Structure formats: C-alpha cells, structure tokens
Chains A and B, each alone.
Chain A
Amino acid sequence: MAFTQLHELILLAAEKQLSIGRLMLTVEAEQSGRSEADVLARMERQFDVMEDAVRRGVAEPIQSRTGLTGGDAFRVHEYVKQGGTFLAPETLRAMAYALSVSEVNAGMGRVVATPTAGAAGILPGVLVYALDSGRYQRADIVLSMLTAAALGLVIANSASISGAAGGCQAEVGSATAMAAGALVELAGGSPEQVGHAVGLTLKNSLGLVCDPVGGLVEIPCIVRNGLHAMTALAAADMALAGVKSIIPPDEVIQAMYEIGKAMPSSLRETGLGGLAATPTGKRLRKQVFGGDLT
C-alpha cells in the first residue's frame, strides 16, 4: 500500500484489526523482503542511537560546532532538580531530552533523523521519557516508532517534511504530530485517536516558518524541539481524552502543504528572513561566516 492518506491508513488498520504500528510493520516487512523480526531489530538499533543522544546532553553540556548554542539540555535538567517547577519534573525532563538530541545534532554528533535532523529531538525526547516512566516496555516503544513512521510517510507523501520546501511546520510540525500519534498508540488509543492527535498537533504549528539564524540548525531549532516535545505530550493527552480534530487530519495536512507553497523562499531554510534577518540574527551570522547577508 501507499501511505498518502491518513483516513485510508486508519480504515485499513481497523479492517485488519491491527494498530497503525503493526500495520506499518507488516507493510515494511513485505516491501523490503525482510522478516518482521529483522525490521523490529533494525528499528531498535535506531532507538539505541536516539537514547544515546538523549542521555549525552543531560549528563554534560554540549556545545554546537559554531559555538552559537549549547548547554541548554543540561541547564533544564539541573533546574528540574531544584523543585518548584511549573511543569511536572518528569515532563520537563522530556524537554531536556529533546534539547539534548538537538544539541548533539548541532555538534555534528550522531542522531536519527525523525523525520529530519532539524526536528530530531522531539520523538526521542518523548519516547525516552515514556521508557523512563516504567509504564512501557522497550518493545512497545520500538513498535510505536513504526506508528510514527507511518504518520510521517503520509505527511511526507501528501505534503512535505522539508523545511526548504514547506517551512518549519513541515519539519518540527510533522515530528510533533508523529510523536503525539506514537504516544497515543503507546497508551492504547485507537487508530482514530492517533489520527486526531495528528490533526490537533499539526493545526498548532501551521504557518511555522523556517528562519534559522545563518541557515544553521541551531537558533531557533534547538529550543523549538524542546518546546514541541511538550506540545506532543499535551496533544497526545488531548486526543486520548477524546478531543477531536474537527478539520479532518488529511485536510489539515493538505492545508499545511498549501501554506508551505505560499511561504516566500526567505522563510524556507535560506537563512534570509524572519529571525535570521533580525539585527542579532545578522550579527551572529557574520560572527560565524564573516561577510554580509547576501
């Protein structure tokens, strides 16, 4: 099957009485000619890389290659220990985890693109948080990554997951929707609820532009990963509570595509508009590259 429409995916899962993750597993095995056990083992290795990246930045501060950013994952993780935080400490830890992966990425360390490197913190952040909660087995987490993959395929094929093509909504927005959907299925939600999680989440990031300072995957990408990990957790709870996306998820994805096409190229990963064009953005660019904004 081709992953292009969420409603088709949900219908097929219901017909076969499979979760979206299980459905993805059977399709992946069939199309690749590998056994389901092989696919799961390969996915588990991806999770191992994710977990390493999550743990690195909270254990010690990590600096980016340019020196513009770094140490925020460690900062948040230390702050949690003080107590008296607004968000529950374990929830904030998911934020620190997401920041950590994005910092490892900016330091040219090893990450898993989910769906891209710019948005690589969100899914690992919430999944390692789920693992730490002790409520889920590693195998459940690995299966939920296949849920996330199926959702990402639909978005990638019917809209975009490229910041250069569709803005940050296509990268961080897609990653957050994938993460929310994966969490819903992990918690035992139905395929319909997974769909609503995607719709609810994407609606919250429509129009998000890709305006990184100097074109680098640092400002605002890193903090955006941290904050959107919180959004993914909140959206999963919202969908599990029974809140529905009144605009069907497939129509939200289509809207995201249309909005992406309407964005000027200065706001699509060229590092020319938005935050990149602020006085400070331009100064930092000069600091890294020398020379002026072209």
Chain B
Amino acid sequence: MKYNSAFDIIGPVMVGPSSSHTAGPIRIGNIARQILAETPMQAEFQLMGSFAETYQGHGTDLALLAGVLGLGTDADEVPRADKKAEELELAYKFIPANLGFYHPNTVAISLTGASRTVRLIASSLGGGKVEVQELEDLPIKFSAENPALIMYHTDEKGFLANVSRILDANGYNIARLSLERWRRGGTAITLCEVDGEIQPELLSTLQDSLPYLREIRFVHVD
C-alpha cells in the first residue's frame, strides 16, 4: 500500500507550485543529503520525463538544490535555493536524460562531499510522495518516510542475523529489511526500516558490534 497516513493526503505543508515537481524533489534531495552526511560540494541532477520538460517553471531545480542543502518542503528559502547554493559554494548542474523505465517524474542525483559521493535514482510519485529506486546502482527501494538505516558492508554470512539480533535486543521492531550486493562476498548495502524513532546510540551500537559494517547512515524525511 503506497499511501497509509492521513498526512500523505492532507500534506505536506510545502512551498508551491507542485507537490510532485517541488515538494517531492525537495524530499529526494533531503534523502541524498542524509545519506551523504556531510556538506555537499558538487551536485549533478539528471532529469527525465516530465521533470526534464518542466523543471524550470515548476522550480524543480530550486527544489532539488534546496533538498541537498537540507531545507524542508515548507522552508521559505526554497525559492532562493540557487543563491544559497552559490553562497555555500555548491557547484551544480542539471542535465535532461533518459534514465530508463521509471515513473515520468524521476531524477538521478550524484552528490559529492569532501570524502564521498552518493548516487541515487528516485521518483516523485504524486502528492509529495517519493521513492528511491536505486542507490549506488543497486535496486534498493525505500521512501524514507519511516526511519531507515542504510548499512554499507561486506557481504558475509550471518550479517543480517546479527543486525536482527541487535535490533531485537534493543527493543526495535523491523518493519522492512533488504540486502542487495554486487556479488557474493563483495560490497553490499542493507536497508532496514524500523517502527518508531531511532535513538542515536543504536548507530554506534551497530557500528561497534558488526565487524563487516563499513558505514551506517540514518535516513528519515518527514
């Protein structure tokens, strides 16, 4: 079920003009920023379909910039996000592209900070609802509406068993769990959504207890 909450329908509170072309892209930008988890220095946005046709008039460009700068859907600064990006020395470009078979409102983001680059493809489904389609070329789908952990790790036997054990021991209920990898024993990404709020200590607990865990991110977009 894609839409569950009354606030999916009566919401979000947002600056206009389009929930799919403005609010959705802000949320997609927010997700990229949270996964990057550092100040972005370069951003490249590939836009397809309706995004590519109409992004300037809808302020989709401003919205994506606002999103990677960490502004919310209702922030007054969204219409000036391009100025803010310049002030913060974020270099950016927008490129119309055909990304493949996705929802007509889809963007591929490559966001680079001092130590890493995050690449994702995400769609804006309507009414401000978004869904990540791919993360680092792996088919990892999530909305970030529920608190989610993203773990970059080595694919080793027992990894998920340990994750579940630690979450259970700390009182968390797993709402969704998926692992994608390039190859057996190679680099893998695990996405884990839990019910309720995530306490910051959980991240360090997981980091300390899981030897194959390289990096962990917390993603949640209101």
Which A positions have Cβ atoms within 8 angstroms of B?
Answer: 2-4, 24, 28, 31-33, 39, 42-43, 45-46, 49, 64-66, 104-118, 120, 123, 145-146, 148-150, 152-153, 156-157, 160-165, 170, 178, 214-218, 265, 268-272, 288-289, 294
Distance to closest chain A CB from B79 (angstroms):
4
Q: Are B6 and A116 within 8 A (Cβ)?
A: no
**B2: which of A117, A150, A156 is its contact (CB, 8 Å)?**
A156
Q: Tell me how many residue pairs across A and B have CB atoms closer than 8 Å.
A: 189
Given contacts A152-B10, A217-B16, A217-B17, contact A117 B4 (CB under 8 A): no
Q: Mark B76-99, 1 if CB is under 8 A from A, else 0.
A: 101100000000000000000000
Given contacts A108-B17, A163-B126, 13 further A-B contacts (CB under 8 A): A2-B4, A4-B1, A108-B78, A118-B17, A123-B10, A152-B9, A157-B1, A157-B2, A162-B127, A164-B104, A165-B125, A216-B54, A269-B104
A214 to B127, CA, bound (A): 20
Question: Which 10 pairs from chain A and chain B are nearest by CB?
Answer: A162-B126, A215-B54, A105-B16, A152-B9, A149-B6, A113-B19, A117-B19, A217-B17, A156-B3, A216-B57
Chain B residues, CB < 8 A from A24: 6
In the complex, what residue of chain B is closest to A170 when comparing beta carbons?
Answer: B126
A137 to B23, CA, bound (A): 31
Distance to closest chain B CB from A226 (angstroms):
16
Chain A residues, CB < 8 A from B19: 113, 115-118, 120
A108 to B21, CA, bound (A): 12
Chain B residues, CB < 8 A from A270: 49-50, 53-54, 104
5 contacts between A and B (CB under 8 A): A115-B19, A116-B127, A153-B8, A288-B56, A289-B57
**A150: which of B1, B6, B196 is its contact (CB, 8 Å)?**
B6
A108 to B26, CA, bound (A): 13
Q: Are B16 and A104 within 8 A (Cβ)?
A: yes
Q: Are B4 and A153 within 8 A (Cβ)?
A: yes
